Amino acid sequence: MDDTGANLVFGWRTALLGLASLQIALLAVALARAERNRPANRILAGLLAALIGVMTPYTIGFAGFYDRWPELSYTPFALTLLMGPLAWAYVVALTAGRAPRRLWLHLVPGGLQLLYGALMVLQPLSARNAWDEAVDHPLISPLVSVAVLAGLAAYSVAALARLRRYRRWLEDQRSDDSRYAARWLGRVLLAVLAVLAAWGGFWLWDLAVARLDYFGEFPLYLALAAIGGYLAVEGWRHAGRAFPAMPDEAAPALPPEGDLERWRRLGREWAERTRREGWAADPDLSLAGLAARLGTNTGYLSRAVNLGLGVNFSAFVNGLRCEAVAQALSEGRDGDLLDLALEAGFASKASFNRAFRAAYGVSPSAWRARSVSEAENIAPPPDLRRADD
């Protein structure tokens, strides 16, 4: 206790937020030092640092820091206007291999928020309190809250749209697209939007009904801590993965559609050759890689697959892999299903199960359970039938 008569009390609320902040901080440092995906990892480290800053006033506030040291008021820990732009920038950097152009423009509002807090800290405490009652709480804080909510919502929606576009692009370019779909990141962004709804409710209550104290807002910041911890762990787990870079410019024009029957014939011929050569067993097979093996270009191969066979590239290759596994099971091959899936070219059990069910309508284990005689009478997926069928 000091001359203010205030004690520091490190209760369970401070412990929860403090431990979450420590975990997030350690992973942020590790991400900042990671060599691969450097632009994305450093942006994520910055986002995690900003999230820690948002939680800090509550972490120390529950412990009584502001009661013991009132001069800490207005210290600019919480730069909430940085969170939206940094979340969007991380998605762009992860999917493009570089930071967004003119990122600094998106960070200007957060910089102004930092400058405002710094100028307030330089004022005497009595002047800060008077400003808070006369101007900040009735005018500036509501405007900042609206800007934070609108910015987080807009940037989260933009990031989700970017992820969806990236996944569609991957499906047309890669056979291992599930490895880079970043579904965990989509879940984070959806969770942020859910928290935004709660945040808006807290803010409206604070504005229209009664001013909430730290304790009333604790559930919101506990949710932010959980989201931040999940984002930090998943970001670190994927920090070393070489995500394919989606180009910003428009894709090259495809050859004219021409005669549909021609594309179907090419699709069947190239499917048969891919099957015969066993190229689908390459887990890293891409549109460009297969086009080179077939002696054609990506435009013609894309037309033959998309138009001629009626599927995207990922479904085409994974269909051939499923066909190989189904054939092995029909012939009575023993062994673990995962081993058969990896041998066929799948990168994970989850992607194998999804693709097999999409191709044959049953799970791999259900297929294995069928009798050999029944399995032999079931043809491969219609879009991948052999050319001589």
- Inform me whether the pLDDT recorded for 253 exceeds 80: no
Q: How confident is the model at residue 155 (pLDDT cuts 50, 70, 90)?
A: very high
- Which residue ranges does the chain devote to CATH 1.20.1070.10? 12-237
pLDDT, average across residues 43-71: 92
Which of 41-55, 238-252, 357-371 reaches the highest mean pLDDT?
Answer: 41-55
Q: How confident is the model at residue 372 (pLDDT cuts 50, 70, 90)?
A: very low
CB atoms within 10 A of CB 250: 6
Residue 229 to residue 198: CA distance in whole angstroms: 19
Residue with structure tokens 């499923």? 322
- Which residue ranges does the chain devote to CATH 1.10.10.60? 260-384
- Inform me whether the pLDDT recorded for 341 exceeds 70: yes
- Inform me whether the pLDDT recorded for 45 exceeds 60: yes
- The superfamily CATH assigns to domain 260-384 is Homeodomain-like (1.10.10.60)
Nearest alpha-carbon partner for 140 in 153, 131, 128, 149: 131
The percent of residues in the chain predicted with pLDDT above 90, rounded, is: 57
Which CATH number among 3.40.50.300, 3.40.50.1820, 1.20.1070.10, 3.50.50.60 corresponds to the domain 12-237?
1.20.1070.10
Residue 276 to residue 55: CA distance in whole angstroms: 58
Residue 206 to residue 210: CA distance in whole angstroms: 5
- Inform me whether the pLDDT recorded for 53 exceeds 70: yes
Residue 281 to residue 204: CA distance in whole angstroms: 56
pTM (two decimals) = 0.86
Q: Which parts of the chain fold into alpha helices (H)?
A: 12-33, 38-62, 65-68, 83-96, 103-121, 125-131, 141-173, 183-208, 214-237, 260-277, 287-294, 298-303, 313-330, 337-344, 349-360, 364-369, 372-376
Instruction: Give DSSP secondary structure letters for 29-69.
Output: HHHHH-STTHHHHHHHHHHHHHHHHHHHHHHHHHTTHHHH-
- Inform me whether the pLDDT recorded for 185 exceeds 80: yes
- Inform me whether the pLDDT recorded for 137 exceeds 50: yes
Residue 314 has phi, psi (to 5 degrees) of -60, -45
